[in-house]
Structure 1
Amino acid sequence: MRAVASYRGLPVEDPESLVDVELPLPEPGPRDVVVRVGAVSVNPVDIKLRPGLPASDPPRVLGFDAAGVVESVGAEVTTLQAGDEVWYAGDITRPGSNAEFQAVDERLVARKPRSLGFAEAAALPLTTITAWETLFERFALTRGSTGTLLALGGAGGVGSILIQLAKQLTGLRVLASAGRPESARWVTGLGADAVVDHHDLAATVGAAAPDGVDYVLSPHSAGMIETFAQLVRPGGHITAIDEPEGLDVLPLKARSIAWHWEFMFTRPMYRTPDMIEHKNVLQKVADLVDDGRVRTTVTTTIEDFSAAGLRRAHGMVESGRTVGKVVVTR
């Protein structure tokens, strides 16, 4: 099968950073489905992993978000069948989605929204699971929850779906940070109640929420702890999705602010008994999409499923200036 892979970690400008290769077809395990991949999206995890990859032969296939059609199923699969149109975020410990075919555990895969094409669907799974786990597992929110949520990086992939889920499934007021006019327009269109300036966070959040905020999504936590200690109410919650070195959260103690980590690959990485929650979340959000309550976050589609197309997508995400998601299709 055709695939896009890396033999070693290199800067995205290097044409050898991602190359077109031929690899054997994946052999499904008993609980696996083999998916013919129709579209993928590029996430920050892809661009974090690629430059640091060790030398390897066979090469490493990256890619997590995907949408496609089930080609075949393992002997013990009970929830899907050949011909099903699906979406998923995959498993960081297995070969990725930047390939013609991919084997994925059925518990991580759900039927995609009927109302979306493959490109529109591929933008959502990883960020949807991250946002859902943040809201309903880390923060333990419900439909009756109230208070104020601050979505930092609101125009990013996770922020873009978090805003929608929070407005549709909780009673929270949502503030979203943006640093450019186009980002501000984007988060407002997704339902954010107010936009705060990413470059002047303390002052603008203070003006929008004078009594402080109850919940924070933090995709960039380095250097932010003192600011969080000012902005978050006593007993509030912060969930970080990054991994800054040497982070000291002690300034949060006086206000009893809880610090949570969110890593959506935890369940597949550790094969947890509730791994099927990925399927369950994706199915719930597929219903929300088909009901018109949540929309795709794709903003750029590259119709070139090749090393050149994926290098272009990686470069766009690495720039830090993308709004929404970048998708690559066949």
Structure 2
Amino acid sequence: MSTGTNTIIGYSRNLPASDPNAFEVRTGPIPAPAPGELVVRVEAVSVNPVDVKVRAHASPHGFRVLGYDAAGIVDAVGEGVSEFAPGDAVFYAGSIGRAGSNQRFQTVEARMVGRKPERASFGEAASLPLTSLTAWEAVFDRLGVTDDSAGDLLVVGASGGVGSVLLQLVRARAPKVRLIGTAGAANAEWVRSMGAHEVVDHRADLAAQVHALAPEGVRWLFTAHSEHQERVYASIVEPFGRIVAIDDGPRDVSPLKDKSIGWLWELMFTDPLHLPQSHHQRWILDQVSALVDSGQVRPTLTENFGPISVDSLRRAHAAVETGRAVGKIVLEGWEG
């Protein structure tokens, strides 16, 4: 286990990303792992919409460390951990209920950690955990898509981090499912490259475009942008179909009742927060790692903002806040 000082980047006030004081650096001792934990030397992180939302609105309770994607090297293992050893390369999302990965050394529950894909760099690996966990749980656990499933799946927000990896996972594991992705014209080619069979423009008449492709409606709908869309979704999902949302969504889904359409939520942090004995997310990450190493899934890194620092984190948060980011923004290495 390393000795010395830990570099920790967090926030103590809810400031805009443009403010030079939005983040601050503190130092502390390198943590020791509790039973069931790992200490990971963080080599790369990525920034997700949840980071932006928490920084802008959640109380720091003095000082809060964000970061829910990481790839790094195991530095120490706690009592009862037999699956990992110091020196192992890993990747993970962790839990929103704990200090995040924007620090050189992070403690994380071993049950939440997967083995980093051998074919991926640390930066590439850091682009995957939160989004692949979200996508896997949304499609395979919530919607119930299986290897033998057939039908149409509409992916609303297909160029984003989750949509980009979701398309690849479904192509790899459910090849009979037709994927229809939504994207603006500038991002349509990216969405096709991620695996969409068809692309529709979400800025135009979505219902008309989807019905032209699937006259009877789609069987499944994944959405990252569901607010005020309940009537549109009721029109384009077939009877007894299912919708899964990862945003805060509408508060009234009664328009779905006439067709008995199921509305489901997906929050990746449900497992780490509420299922303390679950190893499901480790299993998912190991499946994703194998798919990357076999060439069936590729990392969704589109921009590398350089070493992890106050300034690079501010830049990354500002870019994610625009809502126009394609794929994932990654920070790799440390300044100094």
Interval of TM-score (by shorter of Structure 1 and Structure 2): over 0.9
- Alpha-carbon distance between aligned partners in 2 of 1:203 and 1:255, rounded to the nearest angstrom: 18
Structure 2 equivalent of residue 47 of structure 1: 52
Misfit runs of 4+, over 3 Å: none
Structure 2 equivalent of residue 72 of structure 1: 76
- Alpha-carbon distance between aligned partners in 2 of 1:23 and 1:48, rounded to the nearest angstrom: 26
Structure 2 equivalent of residue 139 of structure 1: 143
Structure 2 equivalent of residue 320 of structure 1: 323
Alignment of 1:36-115 (within 5 A): 36-57=41-62, 59-115=63-119
Corresponding letter in the other structure for 1:102: Q
| 2:218 matches 1:217 | no
| 2:291 matches 1:307 | no
* Structure 2 gaps, min length 5: 1-5
Structure 2 equivalent of residue 33 of structure 1: 38
Structure 2 equivalent of residue 14 of structure 1: 19
- Alpha-carbon distance between aligned partners in 2 of 1:306 and 1:272, rounded to the nearest angstrom: 32
- What CA deviation, in whole Å up to 9, does each residue of 1:273-309 have, x standing for no partner? 3x21111000011011000000000000011210100
Tell me the CA shift for residue 55 of structure 1.
4.8
Corresponding letter in the other structure for 1:237: R
Q: Structure 1 residues 173 and 224 mapped into 2: Cα distance closer, same or farther (>3 Å)?
A: same
- Alpha-carbon distance between aligned partners in 2 of 1:14 and 1:97, rounded to the nearest angstrom: 21
Corresponding letter in the other structure for 1:47: V
- Alpha-carbon distance between aligned partners in 2 of 1:238 and 1:53, rounded to the nearest angstrom: 28
Q: Say if 2:32 and 2:76, in contact at 8 Å, map to a contact too.
A: no
Tell me the CA shift for residue 23 of structure 1.
2.8
The two structures, once aligned, show a CA RMSD in angstroms of 1.1
Structure 1 equivalent of residue 299 of structure 2: 296
Structure 1 equivalent of residue 3 of structure 2: none
Tell me the CA shift for residue 106 of structure 1.
0.5
- What CA deviation, in whole Å up to 9, does each residue of 1:309-328 have, x standing for no partner? 01101111111111100001
Corresponding letter in the other structure for 2:173: L
Partner SS for 1:76:
coil
- Alpha-carbon distance between aligned partners in 1 of 2:36 and 2:207, rounded to the nearest angstrom: 49
Corresponding letter in the other structure for 2:52: I
Structure 2 equivalent of residue 279 of structure 1: 282
Q: Say if 1:8 and 1:53, in contact at 8 Å, map to a contact too.
A: no
Give TM-score scaled by structure 1 length.
0.97
- What CA deviation, in whole Å up to 9, does each residue of 1:169-216 have, x standing for no partner? 1120000000132x1010101110000111121121122222211111
- Alpha-carbon distance between aligned partners in 1 of 2:240 and 2:61, rounded to the nearest angstrom: 47
* Count of aligned residue pairs for this structure pair: 326
Corresponding letter in the other structure for 1:67: A
- Alpha-carbon distance between aligned partners in 2 of 1:13 and 1:37, rounded to the nearest angstrom: 25
- What CA deviation, in whole Å up to 9, does each residue of 1:241-281 have, x standing for no partner? 0114x6100000010000000001111111343x2111100
Give TM-score scaled by structure 2 length.
0.95
- Alpha-carbon distance between aligned partners in 2 of 1:26 and 1:305, rounded to the nearest angstrom: 19
- Alpha-carbon distance between aligned partners in 2 of 1:241 and 1:155, rounded to the nearest angstrom: 15
Tell me the CA shift for residue 168 of structure 1.
1.1
Structure 2 equivalent of residue 174 of structure 1: 179
* Structure 1 gaps, min length 5: none
